[in-house]
Amino acid sequence: MEGKKQINFVEANLEELENKSLYVIREAAAQFKNIGILWSMGKDATTMLWMIRKAFLGKIPFTVLHVDTGHKFKEMYAMRDRYAKEWGLKLVVEQAEFVEDPDKHRERCGEIKANALRAAIQKHKFDAIFVGIRRDEHVLRTKERFFSPRDKEFKWDYKEQPVEMWGLLNNTLEEGEHMRIHPLLDWNELDLWRYIKKENIPINELYLSKGGYRYRSLGCVPCTRPVPSEAKDVDEIIAELRTTEFSERSGRLSAREQTEVMQKLRALGYF
């Protein structure tokens, strides 16, 4: 069965990956006037922030944006405040709609964050925004480009994106559009942790095993679940990922899997 197969991460050359990311970051800086960095304090966004610091010799020349749903882990807020100070970040926190009931928040989390981000982009007049997504996270993200434009309706038309050939990044924007910049697109989860180890990048303690569990992906408290793990440090996380059979966003079924289960139940006469 597909699900039983070990995930075979190809371990890329970290130097090449880093060079490509730095190239994307510097190209973005050269091509856009007012860039924001979306920082969720997760491992990807923090690694991206780290690389942007490297690209500009220790200083981050852009606004760092945190879209706060009010449901983040206290450890995430602590990390935000600590490194905003230590790294001298120009941090703005934009408050998203707060839905107190965790179940109701979970149902609408994506929409709540998208609305707040859209408002923040308009408010700060960002023409581009750095986002720390990776292609290996989700099937839809495989279609992303390093520069992915989003129109004034906040929609991403992946079929009409400009091509990126021979390393050329297209900065063409129509009126009201903005560009999402993805420096980490080529990285996978294992590469990222190897890089975190190599560079000694600070990470949230929630990623480390406590009582047999750790978070593999961080979001809002109601929307994120820990996975069973004994990995208590970065070395152990790397060792674990080299043999894992589970995807980073495991826990809930994807829409496709839900459909398959429903079809099975129907065929079996359950409804």
Partner 1 sequence: MLVIGLDGATWKVIQPNLENLPNIKRLIREGKAATVIVKGKPLSVPLWCSIFSGKTPEEHGHEGFMINDQLLHRDDIHLDFIWDTLAKKGYKVFALNIPFVLPPYSFRVQYKPVGYGLPETEEEWSEELEEVTKCARKILEQKPDLLCVVYTLLDRVQHYYWGEKEVAEWYQRVDVKIGELLKYDTKVIVLSDHGFCDFNEAKIKTLKRAVMNGRAVKGDHHEEAVIITKNIFMPIKESEDVYYAIQNEFKV
- Taking the C-alpha atoms of residue 266 and residue 271, their distance in angstroms, rounded to an integer, is 5
78 is a contact residue toward partner 1 (CB under 8 A): no
Q: How far is the CB of 247 from partner 1 (least distance, A)?
A: 10
DSSP state of 37: E
Residues 201-260 binding partner 1 (CB under 8 A) are 212-213, 227-228, 245-246, 250, 252-253, 257-258, 260
Tokens describing residue 7:
């995930």
Q: Which is nearer to partner 1, 156 or 213 (CB)?
A: 213
167: left (phi over 0), alpha (psi -120 to 50) or beta: left
Tokens describing residue 254:
């994807």
261 is a contact residue toward partner 1 (CB under 8 A): yes
Q: Which is nearer to partner 1, 116 or 227 (CB)?
A: 227
CA distances from 8 to 137, 200, 252, 260 (A): 14, 24, 21, 25
Q: Which segments of the chain does DSSP mark as H helices, in order?
A: 14-31, 43-55, 74-86, 102-124, 189-199, 234-243, 255-267
Tokens describing residue 140:
């839809």
Q: Which residues contact 266 (CB under 8 A, 6 or more apart)?
A: none
- Taking the C-alpha atoms of residue 196 and residue 193, their distance in angstroms, rounded to an integer, is 5
271 is a contact residue toward partner 1 (CB under 8 A): yes
Q: How far is the CB of 213 from partner 1 (least distance, A)?
A: 7
Q: How far is the CB of 205 from partner 1 (least distance, A)?
A: 20
30 is a contact residue toward partner 1 (CB under 8 A): no
CA angle 218–224–230, rounded 5-degree value:
75
Q: Are 25 and 129 in contact (CB under 8 A)?
A: no
| Binder of partner 1 out of 1, 57, 163, 165 (CB under 8 A) | 1
Q: Which is nearer to partner 1, 239 or 265 (CB)?
A: 265
Binding-site residue total for partner 1 (CB under 8 A)? 24
Q: Strand 147-150 relative to strand 178-181: parallel, antiparallel, unpaired? A: antiparallel
Q: Which is nearer to partner 1, 168 or 261 (CB)?
A: 261
Q: Which is nearer to partner 1, 15 or 245 (CB)?
A: 245
Q: How far is the CB of 171 from partner 1 (least distance, A)?
A: 42
Binding mask 161-200 for partner 1 (x = CB under 8 A): ----------------------------------------
265 is a contact residue toward partner 1 (CB under 8 A): yes
Enumerate binding residues for partner 1 (CB under 8 A).
Answer: 1, 3-4, 212-213, 227-228, 245-246, 250, 252-253, 257-258, 260-262, 264-265, 267-271
